Structure 1
Amino acid sequence: MPTCERCLNTELKYFAKINGNWVCRRCIGFQGEDAQEVFTVDAVDYHLNFKLTPAQNEISKACRELSRENDILINAVCGAGKTELVMETIKDHLNRSLNVGVAVARRQVALQLYERFKTAFPSIKVTVVCEGHTQDISGNLIITTTHQLYRYRKHFDCLILDEPDAFPFRNNPVLNGFMKQAVKGHIIYLTATPDPSLLKQVRQGKLTLLSLNVRPHHVPLPIPKLIYSPFWVQVIVLWWILRRSKKMWLIFVPSVKRGKVLSKILRLPFVYASSDRLDEFIQSFKDKKIPRLLSTTVLERGVTFSDIQVAVLQADHQVFDTAVLTQIAGRVGRDPAFPKGEVKFLCFRSTSALRNCLKDLSKANQSVLTASVT
């Protein structure tokens, strides 16, 4: 039985034999050179413009020590500062001349993390590898999309996978295969919404769990308010909310088709994954040049806006599962200067996803034990 060296596929139906050699058709579209080892550097350190909280410090130090011998799941609530929790681990590995990578599902998040890590680690070569950035694929610290991990076969002594439950990585066998073959050491998963498969590995002893249930400003997570009404009444309610509010609002819709219609009715800019003006509108919203932004789940995670409120239309739609709803609610109150805000879920009926989202957020607020190591 053949096994693909890139995506680890073993299903015979995806193989073809060409000139006596097996070719995997499942990942044949991923072509490009493989990364090479890069030069080592001495005395690596990082710089942050703020101090970590005691809870963050505890998780940071535990991750540094445990990651030398263990795979780790860091389960930290939205806005807890997941990126900063692994800085000490990255420093430790680089100072031991080991290869470190940070992988994310989406290109835009990779570019944002690249800027943050480049600033935090000014003395090393930080490289971003994603669509439009594949000319240079080597560096001391690699920030990459999961699509590009095929270039790094058995390369990383430590691979940090940010938001493993995010689309399109989640439940994608090709991307999961790329991830597994890229790691020769240990992996660290970072997420606020771990899926059942990761939690199962924790129970089986395959992952060490580090939990952080409080944001740096110690203000409880916002709990969404559910508003029940038929769809077009939801639109009217949303219009009324926006008209009465002077705050910035990020409004989520379940589909591109629905968003385009509402964009015209409400006269709001609309972004989705393949939107030509995605980056433009996101930057304008960040700069507060536009006060309202309509979006699909493309902005459910990986982006941070200051002092915003959030609404979800048709929150009972199947696209809004528990993880997505939790991530959406987590867009609010991240800035210490504006730690509170409104979250409105407009829906026709209650769903298990809605109920579980509220339960998980309430549980996190009640169990603010700062940090715990399992």
Structure 2
Amino acid sequence: MSSLSSTLRQLVVDDDVLPYVQERCPDVVPVAPPRRLPGGNLNVVWRVSCAERSLIVKYAPPYIAADPDTPLDPSRLLIEARCLRALGEGGRLGELTGTVVRPPTLIDLHPEVPVLIMEDVGPVPSFGAWLRDAGPQGRSAAAAMQGRRLGHFLGRLHATTYADDHCADAFDNRPMQETRHAVQYQGVADMLRDAGVRDAEALGRHAETVGRGLLEPGRCLTMGDLWPPSVLVAPGNDLRIIDWELAHYGRPLQDVAHWRAHLWMQIQRAPSPAVAKAIAEHRDAFLKAYAEGLGDKEEVLWDEEERRDAAIHFGAEILVRAVGPFQAGYVYAGLDVNHPAVQAAVATAAEHLRAPKAVEGTER
């Protein structure tokens, strides 16, 4: 291993990045200092402008980048690289993607550090920003179109990888699932208690049960972190799905309920009725296209148990964003627990945890 890679193993600083890129990609000619991108919690990410194209360099330290005191398995970046390879041109799952919906192209992976170099989609808006900045004319139609695209891709991804032993082995991301269980599902009781919910303990047990179940072998490949910052809108309104380090051979609910929870939050905190309406039309189109993408696998992948547990995940995801460790930088950032929007979010989350069968689908 080179001395540069040894340095990266210990600590990545901005001055390391250009020499590293030139070492790994000798045909690349950087033309400006690297720029560290904001907003990442798990990893350290830079944009490197080069003569012919710009690149993204992502480093996974053995801890949460935003919280160095919290250990985190760096093998998460190896999972992401496998996803980019599998879904890229000529990959095992490459038939699922095209110009309209795809992840970035993998350029290089140093598995021992680990550092990933990939295509830079560009300084383009995330789904949420795109929706807010779109003109009032045609906003709903465009949002619905993106819902159809995303839902169809996700349904086909889940259906194609169902009961696939190769994918089950390649995308076994248990370390990240264990982290999710500890942070998200096991934290539900504390979050509800802090928000003043009386039956917090009982609801927390519901979430923990689902979280434990998600540690078991799954049914299909899931993206794992499907929320607005992970869906970029490229020129031509094409979608680029980034940040696959939480991907796992798991259960559909961690994609479908995750996205639905974020759409609910986006609607609740929408800056105008027009934006809220567009998000709702996106949601409806997404759900319909997802079911169509599942095809004859719908009965085994989106059965009664999955819908019930999806409602519980829906509630747990709202909680971590409204009153939990991931409030900063999102739609409830800076709001006190007694703020009406936060209290409404907590009430919705609690109801989904309390009676998942009764509320399944009511967030529509």
With structure 1 as the length reference, what TM-score do the two structures score? 0.27
Greater Cα radius of gyration, structure 1 or 2: 1
Structure whose residues are more often helix by fraction:
2
Q: Counting strand residues as a fraction of each chain, which structure ranks higher?
A: 1
